[in-house]
Amino acid sequence: MDERHGVSAPEGQQGRQAEQRQRGGQPERGEHGEQHAKERRDPAAERDADGDGRAETGEERADRRWQELLQEIRVAQTGVQILLGFLLTVVFTPLFHDLEQTDKTIYLVTVVLGSLATGALIGPVSVHRIVSGRQVKPEAVVWASRLTFAGILLLLATLTSALFLVLRVATHDPYVPWLVSGVLLWYLLCWFALPLWVRTHYASGT
């Protein structure tokens, strides 16, 4: 009992705690509880490892990237499969045997490039199937992305070589290399230069 104030000790302690809360403070136990709560919230707050505004875990980010990669692969696969299917039929046409040896060599190089591009673009599907359920999806996404980029480069070479062959056979014009170079430059602009420019000027944090 506090004789001067006429209140018991427990009541005085409760009064001091209430006064401390009114001033913005909390009892010691409350401060520790808040600190532990913050520690529990920190992992969730730091899930945005890429800084893109998405609160994702590593597995969630890998799932999203894999779905995005599949959409990209479908676009590239369609083009390369149609082109390769067309190229494989050329050798069975009567006109093929009348081609010059140089044109036949260009054709063979084009077919090989198309086959390599097809393998690289189908590779991510095989990677996913083999490593599925092994808890390595983030790593699988990285390697699938590398295969896809290699497939795009091989597809670029295939298209350029096929265009060069077709124009040589169709026109025999000495300006064919210059025309093919112009088309190649357009491919490079659309596929690489423009995306890199957008990445440089509009990426978050720049």
- Paired tokens of 48: 């945005």
Q: To which residue do tokens 């009567």 refer?
A: 94
CB environment 68-103: b (16+ within 10 A), e (fewer): ebeeebeebbeebeebbeebeebeeeeeeeebeeee
Work out the number of other CB atoms within 10 angstroms of the CB of residue 111: 18
Q: What integer pLDDT is reported at residue 15 of this predicted model?
A: 56
Alpha helices in 95-175 (DSSP H): 101-131, 137-171
For the segment 4-20, the average pLDDT, to the nearest whole number, is 54
- Paired tokens of 82: 């149609």
Question: Which bin fits 53, alpha (ψ -120 to 50), beta or left (φ > 0)?
Answer: left
pLDDT tens digits for range 97-147: 899 999 999 999 999 999 999 999 999 999 988 988 888 888 989 999 999
pLDDT tens digits for range 44-84: 444 555 555 577 787 888 888 989 998 989 888 888 889 99
The mean pLDDT of the chain is: 81
Q: Is 58 exposed, middle or buried (0-12, 13-18, 19+ CB in 10 A)?
A: exposed
In degrees and rounded to multiples of 5, residue 7 shows phi and psi of: -130, 155
